[in-house]
């Protein structure tokens, strides 16, 4: 297995944000949202989890936290396909959130998606910016706040991913859903190059470099499984779900 080579934790230059936003993530994002909604629907239908709560309209309303939401491409896709959710989109990079706010406004979803500048490693203690109304309770990132906490490709940016996992579990309500997906570090340089050639073939050299560095920084399935078991979560909640992604899906007890 390749050694893990860390990349910058925060992609906070304007160039990083624009290059990321310009890449075509639509197919991967659509699969992520489809997979998440399928699992979340099962949770809604389980009375033991008690997630369904009517809002003022009498329709179910759910709160979802997206960690490392970047330019809000996944929150937008999710809000379009799930009309009765409110999504708090967290990122530690202000330049990412500049574009996120623009994308959210252009999609007409400012009332459903709230971008928040905060550090996913320490949501309670060091939320960089808080919007009490948007966070609904005014309590910031308190324990057991959200019905679901999701992320896509944040953990490979974190030197010690355990910190983000701990926070994700903490802010999820009992019975809530943890749904996290990331790249899986390849076993060899040849395998890594094949993935870059396959999935970044039409990208700019800068974008190909970002993808290469992300694959080097990613966790292997075994490493992620060992992390979640340290929190009492079964190792089999982590599994490969594509040729380059693992998914961790678990219910908080």
Taking 90 as the threshold, does the pLDDT of residue 41 lie above it? no
pTM as predicted: 0.89
Sorted by where each begins, the domain ranges of the chain are 14-251
**Separation of alpha carbons 13 and 93, rounded Å:** 8
Pick the CATH number of 14-251 from 3.90.1300.10, 3.90.1150.10, 3.40.50.150, 2.40.37.10: 3.40.50.150
The contacts of residue 166 (CB under 8 Å, 6+ apart) are 231
Q: What's the pLDDT score for residue 137?
A: 37
pLDDT digits (tens, 9 = 90+) for 208-252: 999 999 999 999 999 999 999 999 999 999 999 999 999 999 999
The more confidently predicted of residues 243 and 253 is 243
**Separation of alpha carbons 46 and 23, rounded Å:** 38
- Which of the residue ranges 36-45, 74-83, 122-131, 151-160 would you say has the lowest mean pLDDT? 122-131
The more confidently predicted of residues 82 and 57 is 82
The contacts of residue 85 (CB under 8 Å, 6+ apart) are 61, 62, 63, 64, 78, 79, 112
């Amino acid at each position: 297995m390749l050694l893990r080579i860390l990349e910058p934790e925060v992609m906070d230059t304007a160039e990083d944000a624009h290059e990321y936003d310009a890449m075509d993530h639509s197919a991967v994002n659509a699969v992520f949202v489809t997979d998440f909604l399928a699992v979340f629907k099962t949770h809604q239908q389980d009375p033991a989890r008690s997630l369904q709560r009517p809002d003022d309209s009498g329709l179910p309303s759910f709160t979802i936290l997206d960690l490392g939401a970047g330019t809000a491409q996944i929150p937008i896709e999710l809000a379009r396909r799930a009309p009765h959710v409110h999504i708090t989109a967290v990122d530690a990079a202000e330049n990412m959130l500049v574009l996120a706010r623009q994308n959210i406004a252009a999609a007409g979803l400012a009332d459903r998606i709230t971008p928040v500048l905060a550090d996913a490693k320490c949501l309670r203690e060091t939320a960089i910016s808080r919007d009490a109304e948007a966070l609904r309770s005014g309590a910031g990132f308190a324990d057991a706040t959200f019905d679901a906490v999701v992320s896509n490709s944040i953990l490979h940016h974190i030197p010690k991913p355990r910190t983000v996992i701990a926070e994700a579990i903490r802010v999820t309500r009992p019975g809530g859903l943890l749904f996290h997906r990331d790249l899986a570090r390849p076993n060899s340089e040849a395998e890594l190059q094949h993935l870059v050639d396959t999935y970044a073939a039409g990208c700019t050299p800068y974008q190909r470099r970002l993808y290469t560095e992300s694959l080097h920084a990613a966790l292997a399935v075994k490493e992620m499984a060992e992390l979640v078991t340290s929190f009492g979560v079964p190792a089999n909640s982590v599994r490969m779900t594509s040729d380059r992604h693992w998914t961790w899906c678990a219910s908080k007890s």
